[in-house]
Each structure stands twice: as structure tokens, then as C-alpha cells.
Amino acid sequence: MGTTPAAKPIDPRLNGIIRAVMKLYTRLNVFVYRTSSGRLMNRFPNGSPICLVTMTGARSGRRRTIPLIYIPNGEDVVLVASQGGMSTHPLWFYNIRANPEVCITAQGRTRRMQARIADGAEKAAVWPVAVAVYPDFVEYQARTTRDIPVFVCSPS
């Protein structure tokens, strides 16, 4: 899956600050994306496309929507739980693992999908697809000792 030996781990003392900034940016991104019908804040700064993923909270049971990199793979959509290479999984990972039915909005279309965690062979097959869309995933994996989980979402 490739690693970047020069990648430095994220200092765990920064996790709280990074999460707070990501939470604020997520709320802004979802608001602007929805209000503009996907015309604004639909790409990361490097040009990678963004989708909105709506899921059910693992503990709260409330619906939550977050922006993630949109990685189409045929009819499926791949979601990478990288969290920038932090040492812990993003909170949305636990939500989708507990409640795998999601709605993904991308390119003006919303689809109901069923998510599953890719096993080793499936992850190895879709990882190059994810990296082609967002090359920084290689660096993120190199920053952490955890195996970054990948979800494959299929139409339900």
C-alpha cells in the first residue's frame, strides 16, 4: 500500500485541537455544500472531490452528515477513515461500523448505500483507487501505526 518513510507522526497532544478545528470546518463545509447545492466547498484544496455522508450516530442514534473525499469505484463509493494519519480512528468510523446504512450525496445525486469494512484483500484492491483520487492517503498511513480502515459502500 506504500509508505512515505519521512512522514512524521502527529503529536498526540495536538489531537484535541485538530479534532476541534476539523469539527468546525466540517460544520461549515456541510452548510455551504448544502446551501449551494454542491456548487461550493465540493473539493479539497488539492482538487479532490468531496461528498456528503449521512449516517446514524453509534450512541446517540441521531443523523449526522460529514464531508469526506469522494472516491467512486464503479457503482461503489470508497471511504477512507484516515483522519489525517492521527493515531485514532475518526468518530464517524464508529458510527458507520455500528450503523452501516448511509446516504452519500455527490455530483448532484443522493444514494442510499450499505457500508462494509474492506478486508485485507479488498483494501489492497481499492487502496490504489483511493490514492489516485487523494495521494496524501499514502502519507497519512505512514504517519500512524494503525491500519487505516477503508469502507466500501454499495448501493442498497
**pTM for the complete prediction?**
0.86
**74 found inside a domain:** yes
Residues 6+ apart with CB under 8 A from 98: 56, 58
**128 found inside a domain:** yes
Q: What is the pLDDT of residues 57-83, one digit of tens each?
A: 999 999 999 999 999 999 999 999 999
**6 found inside a domain:** no
For residue 30, give Cα distances in angstroms to 22, 86, 117.
12, 22, 24
**Residue with grid cell 512522514, as numbered in its chain:** 7
- CATH number at 65 reads 2.30.110.10
Asked if residue 3 has pLDDT above 50, the reply is: no
**53 found inside a domain:** yes
Q: Domain tally for the chain?
A: 1
**1 found inside a domain:** no
List beta partners, residue 110. 105
For residue 47, give Cα distances in angstroms to 19, 56, 62.
23, 28, 31
CA distance 22 to 14: 12
**7 found inside a domain:** no
Confidence band (pLDDT; 50, 70, 90) for 17? confident
**4 found inside a domain:** no
Asked if residue 153 has pLDDT above 60, the reply is: yes
**61 found inside a domain:** yes
Average pLDDT, integer, range 86-93 = 93
Q: Would you state the pLDDT for residue 2?
A: 47
Asked if residue 135 has pLDDT above 90, the reply is: yes
Q: Write out the residue range of the structural domain in which residue 65 sits.
A: 12-155
